[in-house]
Structures are given as C-alpha cells and as structure tokens.
Structure 1
C-alpha cells in the first residue's frame, strides 16, 4: 500500500486522464456486449451531451485542484483531522486499513453527503436535476453534472479533505476510485442478480444505483452512494427494485427531447422550481 499511495501522491495528469477515458471506453464496450436495457437511441448522440458535461467537470476540478492540495497540506502539517486522530489512537493500524478508512470517509463527505444534501435542498437540487434528466442511463451518465453542481460537489470534497485530514495520496486514490466506480455503477450492463446483490453489500453495484435513477419518489431519494454501499445502509437510504421495472429520468422533466438539448439542460437550475408530483412507490 505504501507503493500505491506513493504513486497516487504524484500521479501524472496523463495517468488520471487515462483512468477516466479508459473507464468510459471499457464500460462502453461491455454495454454493447451485455446490455441491461436495449435502448432505442443513437448512442453516440447521447454520449455527446454527457461528454460535454464530463469536460466541464474536468475543467472545474482542474481549476480548483490547488485548493485540495492546500487543504491537505494544511491538515497534515497541523496534525488535523480524523485520520490523524486514528493514527494517534491506533499506532499499530495497518497502512491498508488507514487507506481504506480514508477513502471511505472521503466517499462519505464528497459523494454520499453531497448527494444527499442536493436532494434535500431545492436550490441545489435544481443543479443536480441535469444528472437525473438522463432517460438512457449508461456509463457516460456518470459525469453528467451541471458545472454548478461540479462546484457544489467540489466544496463538499474540500470540506471532507479537511475534516478527514487526508494526505494527497489518499485523495488521489479516492478520486480515481470514484471515477471508475461511478462509471461502473451507471453502466448499462447486465450482471446476474445474485452477483449484483453480493457486490452491493460492499460497493455500489449497477442494479443498486439504477434504483436511484427511477423516475419517481421514493426511489429517487435512495441509494446515494458512489463507492461504498455502507453509507446507505447505515443511514437507511438503501432500497432495491427489479431493474427490469425501472423507468429512467425524473417525473418533473419528462420531455426526452428537452433533456437531450444542451441549452435546455444548462438552463434547468434557473427555471421555475418544479416540485416532484408523483409519490407512488408502486410505479
């Protein structure tokens, strides 16, 4: 693990790009071979919109990345954060456990908590809606985030870095895992239900996350996790639903053509608020 963390402490930008592009390419290929749903859509056209938002997410995170590094350096230099407390209380703790706890805590603050709050605060939900309006959820949906949401999520990650006291190596390991796991759990791939079920006890599996993309409440407000499923289980936001009965999208933005128009998507956060209208958990 020391070697792994050392690598991620100084991971080249080209390697980070390779992880992002390689993940999309890999799961894109698997989607052709074993799709969960055979969508009637032009896959390339659908990907174009989502890749645009992927690029804006990259730009936002690249511009603000120095803040993560500054926050990490400050926390480590001042022995601040949960990891530092753990190190003092349990000096015999394996580096593997140290890294796992660090990644899990960053997953909580940067992914689960950010996601949960976005669903609870109407102003933030407006930005997050862009992600939920995708009616053809596949691996490219993973980074379909309005630029405003990218900033919101970065703020939660930044706070997480300080609270956790995460060193740079663990931050970069977390971000790399977050990218790949998000691509995996959004991927339109068919996995045997028993395999997916067992995976969901540890990580956020495709069938588990797809429930979150069902178009109506209460399912939309479940399964917020990205890497580890433990947070949804602890906070009782875990839910299951037969993947064959899922309808992707969100009930307040049902127009597929509108949801495939870049200009319309960018304007969503500034539209008049549309509260959820369907609360039928049997749909």
Structure 2
C-alpha cells in the first residue's frame, strides 16, 4: 500500500488524499514511507466502534489548513449508519474554506442494491449537507468515497440528488454535480488485442450483468461550477488506472479490487 500511495503522490502531487479501509497503523506506515514531512493526517478511524469507522484524510499542510471535523451518523430502525466524515479545510493561498465529506458505505453483501438502508444513507447525507448550509458552512463542498453504489443508483441520484446535469447543479444549490457518470462506460472506443481499457473503479470477476462498477466517486457542490474562486477542472477528474494498478485489479489472487479516483480543482485568485 505504501508503495502505491507514494507512486500516486509522485504522479499527481495531490494536496489531499482520502483513504478508506485503513487503520491507525496503516496511516503511520504510509506517512513514514512517503518521506514527506509536510503531509499531515486526520485519522477518523475507530476499530472499536459499531459500526466501525475506517476513513482518513492526508493533506499537504503547506497548502491546506485543518479547520475541524465531525462525523455524520444517523439511526435507521435498529441500525447506526456511518454516513460520512466531514473535514473542514482552508486554502493557504486564497484563504478560501471548503469541506470534504468522506464516506465508505456498506458493501452490496451487507446491504443489497435496493435495500432501504442504502436509500436512507443518501437521504441522511443530503439532510446533513442542508443543515451545514443553513449553519453557514462554506458553499464549497466535495463528497468523496466508496459508496458501493453506481452514479445511477437511487441512493445517490434520487436521494442524495447527485446529478449528471451540470447546468441543473449550477442553478440549483441542493444538487451536487457528479462527473463520474462519464466513468460508467468503456474508457476505450475500440477493442484491440492489447486493450487496457476499464469501465469503472471496482472489478468483480463473477459479476452477472457486468464485472465493472463505478463505486468510487467525487461529487461537487454548485459553487465549483462557476468561473471564480474554486473551479472544478473536469477534464482532469476521473479514474486513475496505471498499468500496474489495472493488473492488480484484474488478478484473481490479489485482494486489491478498487481503483483510485482523482478530482482536480483550480484556485482562481480574486484581483
């Protein structure tokens, strides 16, 4: 894992990295292996709680200031939902605050596609986002994580209001724009013997209708769709699938089954 994260950093020079399915020991090993003293960690993991929390954020403290955090939890029937972890950050360049909401929702084994728990997770997150807005949070919010749902799943498209319609998201603040709708098809237009294409972020070799699923996504609030402040650079937002990671994903003996995703935002300084 350390080697892969270090290679991702060398490839992208990311300012912030969200991780799922990690523990404190993993994070210590990653930061030590990175050899970058300017990287700090917000460790939101808790292996003792039920449900277990397993997300964390690594950020570059030269470019970002940590402002605070809180966990979004909800109750549904007799179940506690771990909806997401809110991490508030501020750009050191522009002084612009923003927040990430990092989520790792239950697997399809735990909660099937049309399970009411999945719908409630989307509704719970939407209600929390509305409350944050009413409490005066920054209009710049990025949702990210492994949702174990595709962009078109009801939990995201209908209950969370994460839309493929950029114009609608720009006009209506309750919607989030999800550019990962574009990532549910083949990455290559034609089939070749040496084809290295992908059509999702998660590969399951025994899938019935498809072996590929776009479970890992980033969704952006309408503030990112203007031409000032913090601006989504959609052409540089998508799935990272270098040959080594793709080979690991497709190898039956590997436990690696998710590709990382990248979101790029441009800071436009007001003059």
TM-score with structure 1 setting the length: 0.26
Structure number with the higher helix fraction is: 1
More strand per residue: 1 or 2? 2
Q: Provide the TM-score with structure 2 as the length reference.
A: 0.27
